[in-house]
Structure formats: structure tokens, C-alpha cells
Chains A and B, each alone.
Chain A
Amino acid sequence: MAAAGLAPVDLAAPDHAARRPAAGRAAGRRAALPASGRRARHRAPAGLVPLAALAVAFLALPLVAVAVRTPWGALAEELAAPGVLAALRLSLVCSLGALALSFFLGLPLAWVLARVPFRGRRIVRALVILPMVLPPVVGGVALLLAYGRQGIVGHLLEQALGITLPFTTAGVIVAEAFVGMPFFVVTVEAGLRAMDGRYEEAAASLGAGRWTTFRRVTLPLLAPSLGAGAALCWARALGEFGATITFAGNLPGSTQTMPLAVYLALQTDTTTAVALSAVMLAISLTVLVVLRDRWFRLP
């Protein structure tokens, strides 16, 4: 079962393996698979494989259940219901907006955390990671207290610029970026730390300015981490529920994203909720297939 599961992943990406002869461990696994048992470390200890199968079943069965209960015949009808397409569109717009915000602010933050030694860096990093472990509803309350109309920053925003975030699409983006950005920052910072600094030094010694070095050397080297961070951040933003409903509220067309629509549909009409869930599932699956093992392959 495990071997059957692994094989298509590797076969699906021969181009990577071919382009990267240095990815020794991945290549080793490929070679070892047909002749399994040649080396002892490839034989699973007794009991591990059934547990692994159990884990697969545990994770996959709920998704299969959604597919089974989806009203395929009436799916088009369910999706044509008012509000569904709006929620879908809003989900995509807001999650991409949150990703853009995370990129714009998170990349500089990741760079500073990785490269600039300063006092209290650990504390700053802990603060940045905190939204990852915070229950999203608590995050939503915190956002209200900070950026709400009566919030410590929010009331200034309203007085000075006439901007209110709660109950607006911008508020949804803020809530999603709040929970999604840490994933981006943490991933990109790890990438920066693992990067070999000598390339940047070489660029600098050849006369490249700091900005040129960052743009032409650091960023291209960082591309895999940027991709992985972006994928995690976007996925988290797409599924965000708690902070959104707490901070941005729930109004079809302006703040009701797919997860909110699913939750409310569940209260009255399970069929619609299942149909919407199936759509979310399809989108997530598509993204995973498109990304394939490009960013999620393990060493």
C-alpha cells in the first residue's frame, strides 16, 4: 500500500529528478523501490504499515464521505443558488488579497528576522508565530480590539482616514492575512537561513548594490521557499473561518466567504452545505495537484 502510494508521486515528476541529479536521497528512494528489501532500512518495522494505512483511512474517509454525500445530479442547481458564486468569488479574491499582503509585508519581515541580529528577535519571532497557534476566534476578537471601530488603532483610522475595516471585504483580507501571514514568514525565514550566503557576498563583491543583490540573487535562490510559504499562507487564508466571522461579520456578497456560507447552510440545509463543501474540496485538490510534489516533497 505504501509502495503503491509512493510510486505515482515519484513517477509524476521525472522532470524534477532529471533536472536535479543532486537530489540524492529522492533518487535513492526511486532506485530502491523496485528492489525493495535490498537494504534493511527500507523494510518497514512490523505493525507500521497497518498503522500507516489506518492514518490514510482516517484522513481520507471524511473527504470520501463528502464526495459520496454530494448531490451530484443537483450540484449545478445548488451552485447556481444566489450567493454561492458570490461566496466563491469572494473566497478567491480575499485569499489572494491576503496572500499579496503577506508577501508584501511578510517577505521584508522574514528577511529581517533571518538576517538582522537585534535584541528581542526571539520575542518578535514568537509574536509573529502566535497567530498560528491562537484559536482564530480569539484572533478575531483581538483584531476587533485593535482595528475595530473602537479599537486602539481602528478609531484613529476612522477619524483620520474614514476607513472602517469590520464588516468590509478589506476586513476579510485583514483577518485572513492575520492567520495566514505567519505561515509565509516562518517558511521564508527558514529558506533564508538555509541559503548559502556566499552567493550574495559574491554579488556584492562584484559591485552589485544591496537592492540589486536582494532582487537578482536572494529572491531567485529563495523561490522554492517563497512558493511553499505562499501555498501554505494561501491555503490557510482560503479556509479561514473564525477570525473572519468574528472580525468581518457575515454578509453575502461582501464578507461571506465559502467557509462561512458552508457553516450557515449547515444550519438549515445540509444538502447545500455538502455541495459547497465538495466545491471547496475540489478547489483544494486542484491546487494540490497543480503544485504536485514540487513544494511538498519531503527530503
Chain B
Amino acid sequence: MSGSVDRAAMDVEGRGLKGRTRGVNARRTGWRRWVLRSLAVLTLAALLAATSACGQDEGTAASRDLRVFAAASLTEAFTELGDAFMAEHPDVKVTFVFGASSDLARQIEEGAQADVLATADKETMAGVADAVDPQVFVRNRLTIVVAPGDPLAIHALEDLAKPDVKVVLAAPEVPAGRYAERILDGQGVVVEPVSYEATVKSVVTKVSLGEADAGIAYVTDVAAAGGEVDEVPIPIAENVIAAYPIATLAGSQAGAEAQAFVDFVLSDAGQKIMKTYGFLPRPTAR
């Protein structure tokens, strides 16, 4: 960058300008030295922090790390569930990674260190070779998300096909997008969305920000958004049931803790927490 500048100056002036540019450079050099030193110190600190964190990862008996990869729609429910689990197992520290199920599955396939995986559909889980004995732990339904008070009077799926309604859907690459596609196809409704969002959470965000008029997301997402969006229920006959499987991962170095977490999710206490966030109980429960 500054090279081109210097050369430009020299092209114009030959050597005449050199003294002047050197003065500027000297001032800049002092500043640069300061920046470089700060950067060096910061980098060193970051490296030290990273290595000491790795040291902790090795896991003393006092505190073991458990890394749970979970579908974006589980964010709020699993955060509370994780706290409850840690209260019961003070020696385990649970860290969540939330994201589109398909994204998480890919990360695990590419070697991300994870102990437990919970996805929003069985197809995604089936693609993870390391998943040990997946079990459905909750179910979910989908719903139409609209702005508070439903200003555009959207009452049913057909209304999403109106040309003046801006609809966002989750991308067909992620589970929520596949479910939405299945629901719309089932009713023969042709929607032309303005965007295919990368996670179901950003569908809700686009509606709550007022950028989109409507979207299709999980019932639980509307509950989690507080009053920022309203819901137009999709009748059960037109809806699909989203089954969420959970599994420990074969590559886990905390197998016992991972199994304990899965057991906790399937336990009465875990199921009760999931229910408060609007999830339906797993099919085998009672």
C-alpha cells in the first residue's frame, strides 16, 4: 500500500522528495513499533491463554468439559437444561454450540471435538457416522411467524403466497427449511420467499425486525422470542411433527459424562424443562 504511494511520489519527483517522505516515515515508524509491540504481546497472551485452556481440556477429575452440539431451535431450552444438569453434576462443565443442525453435523464429520449431538431431524443425524444409538428426545411443530398483532392479516398458509407478503423461510439445506417445504408442498401452496435463511433463528429475527412479514419456524422459537413476534398456528392436519434425536458421539473423550447428559435430557426432570419451552414429549414417554 505505502509502496505504491512511495513510488508514485518518486515517479513525480525523482529523488527530490525523499527527505520529506522519510520524515513522515520516521513518525509512522514510532507509531508502528508501538502497534507491533502491542500486537506481539497480545498474540503471546492469546497463545498462552489457548495453551492453558488446552491444559484444562485434558481434564482433571475436578472439572470435566462436555461439549454439546445442538440445533439452533434448542438454544433457550438447552441453556436452562444445561444449568440444571451442572447443578446435579458439579464436576462437569457443559459448553453448548448452537447452530443449524446440518452445519453442526458437517463440523463433526470434519473432526470438530463434540461429545453430544442433538439435531432437529433424523435425516441429519443419520448422516453422522459417529452418532451412537440416536434416540428421539422431543418433538416440535411448525408455525407461521408474523409481526406482533399480525398487521397483514395472515390467517393460513395460503396467505403466504400473496404477492405483497414478504416471506422468509429457512434454507432447504437445514431441517427447518425441509419441514417448511414439506408443509407447503403438502398443501400445494407456492411461496416465493425473499430469502432462505441459514438458521431457523434468523427467520424469526427477520420477522421480529420487521424486515419480513412472515416466516415459518418452530412453535418453540415463537415462545423463545417473547412478545417480539406472534404466531399463526398451522392446523395439525397440515403440520408436520419434527422429531429431535440426541446421541453421544463415538469420538468423545468424556463418554460417561456424555451418556449422563443424554440420560438427563430423557429423564423426567429434563423432559419437564423441555416442555416449559413448548416442546412435545418424546413419543415413547408414557
Contact = CB atoms under 8 A, between A and B. Distances in A.
Interface in B148-175: 166, 168, 171, 173-174
Contacts of B210: 148-150
B12 A221 contact: yes
Contacts of B253: none
A297 B5 CA distance: 11
Interface of B: 1-15, 17, 21, 24, 100, 102-103, 106, 166, 168, 171, 173-174, 193-198, 202, 206, 209-212
A174 interface: no
23 contacts: A20-B7, A22-B10, A167-B212, A187-B1, A190-B1, A190-B5, A191-B4, A191-B8, A194-B2, A196-B9, A196-B12, A223-B8, A225-B5, A245-B198, A249-B194, A249-B206, A250-B195, A264-B171, A264-B198, A266-B106, A267-B171, A298-B3, A299-B2
A299 B6 contact: yes
Contacts of B12: 195-196, 199, 221
Nearest to B211: A166
Nearest to A21: B14
Contacts of B168: 249
A150 B2 contact: no
A182 B33 CA distance: 24
Contacts, number: 115
A256 B235 CA distance: 32
Interface residues of A, number: 47
Nearest to B192: A251
A266 B173 CA distance: 9
B209 A267 contact: no
Given A190-B1, A250-B171, A251-B196, A167 B211 contact: yes
Interface of A: 20, 22-24, 144, 148-150, 166-167, 187, 190-191, 193-196, 199, 221-225, 227-228, 232, 245-246, 248-252, 255-256, 263-268, 270, 295-299
B99 to A, nearest CB: 10
A227 B7 CA distance: 13
Nearest 5 A-B pairs (CB), nearest first?
Answer: A249-B195, A150-B210, A167-B194, A267-B102, A194-B5
